[in-house]
């Protein structure tokens, strides 16, 4: 049996984090630094983070939960629902968060002050912009999956209705793959044409 290289394990961890399939271990925290709402749980905390918009604005802790992120700064507190995030960009030790209705991008830096375990046997890596970006994407994916309404049941066996619903389902799956970056816009357009045409 060959050992899997640590870089491969780390890549698998980041992929799973981005997909939203990683359970967060918050047992190392004595208590949550914020009051959690009903149904909300803590993902992780990044301590001594620098908020930049575009220059250093504040220092504090960045808290990620299953519903929002909260910056507990020395000068101010920011609480944002994950549904308001429209884009996330990872950098070496920072993450840029773009959100709806806000002109300036929030950049949270100095993230690499603590480690996170990425294997069952305790292999650890520094928290980086990429780790935080993947975690945010995974939490947003998980939230979208739980907030989607259940599809209406098919009550009639009309083949035209079934075909239309099947095509719509396939288009929705393709759009989700495109939105997650698995498909390029060109690949999405080509596959969409194949379904519709």
Count Cβ atoms within 10 A of the Cβ of residue 63 and give its class: 0-12 exposed, 13-18 middle, 19 or more buried: buried
**CB 118 within 8 Å of CB 125:** yes
Q: What is the pLDDT of residues 64-104, one digit of tens each?
A: 999 999 999 999 999 999 999 999 999 989 999 999 988 88
Sheet holding 56-65, edge to edge: 77-81, 68-73, 56-65, 42-52, 106-109, 95-99, 85-90
Higher pLDDT, 8 or 1: 8
The CATH class of the 6-147 domain is mainly beta
Return d(Cα 131, Cα 117) in angstroms, integer. Answer: 11
Return d(Cα 116, Cα 129) in angstroms, integer. Answer: 13
Kindly report the average pLDDT of the chain as a whole number.
Answer: 81
Mean pLDDT value of segment 3-23: 83
Measured between alpha carbons, how far is residue 2 from residues 78, 124, 149, 156, 176 in Å? Answer: 47, 20, 44, 54, 35
Q: How many residues does the chain have?
A: 197
Mean pLDDT value of segment 177-184: 75
Q: What is the pLDDT of residues 115-170, one digit of tens each?
A: 887 777 778 888 888 999 999 999 998 888 776 555 555 455 455 544 455 667 77
User: How many helices and strands, by DSSP H and E, does the chain display?
Assistant: 4, 9
Return d(Cα 33, Cα 24) in angstroms, integer. Answer: 16
Domain(s) labelled CATH 2.30.29.30 in the chain stretch across: 6-147
Please say if the pLDDT value at position 179 is more than 70. Answer: yes
Pairing between strand 42-52 and 95-99? unpaired
């Amino acid at each position: 049996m060959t050992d899997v290289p640590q870089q491969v394990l780390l890549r698998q961890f980041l992929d799973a984090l981005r997909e939203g399939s990683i359970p967060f271990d918050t047992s190392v925290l004595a208590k949550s630094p914020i009051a959690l709402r009903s149904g909300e749980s803590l993902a992780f905390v990044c301590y001594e983070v620098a908020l930049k918009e575009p220059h250093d604005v504040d220092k504090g802790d960045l808290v990620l939960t299953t519903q929002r992120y909260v910056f507990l700064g020395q000068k101010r507190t920011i609480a944002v629902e994950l549904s308001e995030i429209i884009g996330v960009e990872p950098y070496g030790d920072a993450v840029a968060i773009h959100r709806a209705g806000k002109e300036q991008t929030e950049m949270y830096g100095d993230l690499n002050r603590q480690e996170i375990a990425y294997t069952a046997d305790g292999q650890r890596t520094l928290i980086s912009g990429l780790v935080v970006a993947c975690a945010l994407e995974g939490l947003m994916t998980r939230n979208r999956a739980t907030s989607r309404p259940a599809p209406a049941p098919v009550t009639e066996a009309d083949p035209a209705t079934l075909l239309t619903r099947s095509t719509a389902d396939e288009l929705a799956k393709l759009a989700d793959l495109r939105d997650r970056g698995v498909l390029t816009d060109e690949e999405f357009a080509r596959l969409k044409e194949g379904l519709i045409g």
